[in-house]
Copies of this chain bind each other. A is one copy, B any other.
């Protein structure tokens, strides 16, 4: 028995399916460009064996455990570490069984597609996960993980990853990236510059982080000018480790373009911890425009990921901390929010700003009209909750007619779950080929054009947009 249908996610009608299959055959084995993600660089640096199946697949992946939690299973029973270091389940087999017994909850979700893909393609499994097969699964995967061919670098090669970006805080020492480089291994793992902890006055440790940036760079970060220079220096340092992009996860897409003396005064207030929430928001907005200006100088691609109301549950945040599946999207405005930055630098063809969204209503109403006009703007792929077959289909249908294909940037997996990387890219390639095949079948696109586009969407656009 196969866990996966060979033609999954392709159109179900005969002619479009045939067209889609032909397109997919051309792109299924292309190398993976993964320009935005959250895998741990330490994996590639140390190349140690992954721990047990539950620690690999269940406990660290908030896509997986939040669904179990949503049906009343406790995080402690799933081994999710507590903020206070208190006891949680550590028996991998027990966690795995709980997961297996509830595997039906994932029916119809992309997690199910990714998991089954990992099970079949990475671990060679041919039976469905459930209460009965839980132990067999656990033993089988544990056995695999003990073998050298399941070490991170071996999987990296087997997954055919041409380049992968991790994401590090602006003050990170990039030690794992250094270790990778020093090791002489030829896998291309690059970093990305994520300065949230030094541009958001409301983040714990803001002032301390900025002082650290001063020490790291030799600039006087107690001054606005020195602070900006320190950013420049850190960006250059990140570029040494392959960075081609910066990444900004603010709650909104707000930008500002204040006179420099006002920006400097706001910075001083932020350093003193004296900003009102509105001023903190203005400062974050100002920094997006400053980052865009630096991008014109140094060529880093600017990624803006707004819209998540982080750590929505006060109880979960207090007990388990950040990134526990309780980041909930909200309405996000781009048109008013981005205007200050766009008026400053939006018409520059030498700048690339990639916009992501968790508010699908913005695709056709805001993002496609903006990216279909401003030369600096591109639209990021269907992301996070929309990294899914329907999410991707709606994305293409909403975006293409106004912005075309060439104002999009290919696929990002954005994942912490290493084994899901090939699965996620495979889903994206299938869904894009299905979309293109339907355009051909309905007489809206020629077959030769669809072939070119399939290649661009699977590989070329990510590579060129991210300058990888």
Q: Give chain A's interface residues, CB within 8 Å of chain B.
A: 4-13, 15-16, 66-67, 69-72, 104-110, 112-113, 128, 309, 312-316, 325-331, 333, 335-336, 339, 342-343, 346-347, 349, 358-361, 364-366, 368-375, 377, 385-386, 388-391, 394, 397-398, 400-407, 438-439, 441-446, 449, 452-453
Interchain CB contact (< 8 A) of A335 among B106, B109, B309: B309
Across the two chains, which residue of chain B brings its CB closest to A315? B347
CB <8 Å contact, B107 and A405 = yes
Closest to A68 in B: B375
In the complex, the answer to whether B372 meets A443 with C-beta atoms within 8 Å is no
CA of A413 to CA of B397, assembled, Å = 21
Which residues on B sit within 8 Å (CB–CB) of A72?
349, 375
Q: How far is the CB of A350 from chain B (nearest CB, A)?
A: 9
Chain B residues whose CB sits within 8 angstroms of the CB of A439 once the complex forms: 108
Residue in chain B with minimal CB distance to A358 = B365
CA distance A171 to B331 in the complex (A): 38
A443 to B431, CA, bound (A): 13
A330-B336, A390-B397, A443-B5 known; A66-B108 Cβ under 8 A: no
Instruction: Determine whether the beta carbon of A113 is less than 8 Å from that of B444.
Output: yes
Decide if A365 touches B331 in the complex (CB within 8 Å): yes
Q: Once the chains bind, are B407 and A385 in contact (CB under 8 Å)?
A: no
Q: Are A70 and B371 in touch, CB under 8 angstroms?
A: yes
Is B390 a contact partner of A346 (Cβ separation < 8 A)? no
A-B residue pairs, 4 tightest by C-beta:
A5-B443, A8-B443, A72-B349, A388-B401
Whole-angstrom distance between the alpha carbons of A438 and B112 in the complex? Answer: 16
Asked if A4 and B443 make an inter-chain contact with CB atoms under 8 angstroms apart, the answer reads yes
How far is it, in angstroms, between the C-alpha of A408 and the C-alpha of B97 when the chains are bound?
A: 24
A-B contacts besides A369-B385, A390-B397, 20 pairs, CB < 8 Å = A9-B444, A10-B442, A12-B16, A70-B377, A70-B403, A72-B349, A104-B406, A105-B404, A110-B401, A312-B373, A313-B343, A315-B346, A315-B347, A316-B347, A325-B372, A329-B335, A331-B331, A331-B365, A360-B361, A368-B385
In the docked arrangement, what's the CA distance between A333 and B331, Å? 8
A107 touches B449 (CB 8 A): yes
Give the complex CA separation of A405 and B105 in angstroms: 7
Q: Which residues of B contact A358 (CB under 8 A)?
A: 365
- A401 → B minimal CB distance (Å): 4
| Contact across chains for B328 and A366 when beta carbons are under 8 A apart | yes
Q: Which residues of B contact A365 (CB under 8 A)?
A: 329-331, 358-361, 385
Chain B residues contacting A375 (CB-CB under 8 Å) are: 69-72
CB distance from A456 to the nearest CB of B (A): 10
B-chain residues with CB within 8 Å of residue A397 when the two chains form the complex? 390, 394
CB distance from A62 to the nearest CB of B (A): 9
In the bound complex, do residue B444 and residue A108 qualify as a contact, i.e. CB atoms below 8 Å apart? yes
Bound-complex Cα distance A452 to B103 (A): 14
Report Cα–Cα, A444/B360, bound state, in Å: 23
A-B contact pairs, 25 of them (CB 8 A): A5-B444, A9-B444, A11-B442, A12-B16, A12-B441, A66-B372, A69-B375, A70-B374, A70-B375, A70-B407, A71-B407, A72-B375, A104-B452, A105-B404, A108-B444, A309-B336, A312-B335, A313-B346, A314-B343, A315-B343, A331-B331, A331-B333, A364-B385, A364-B386, A390-B397
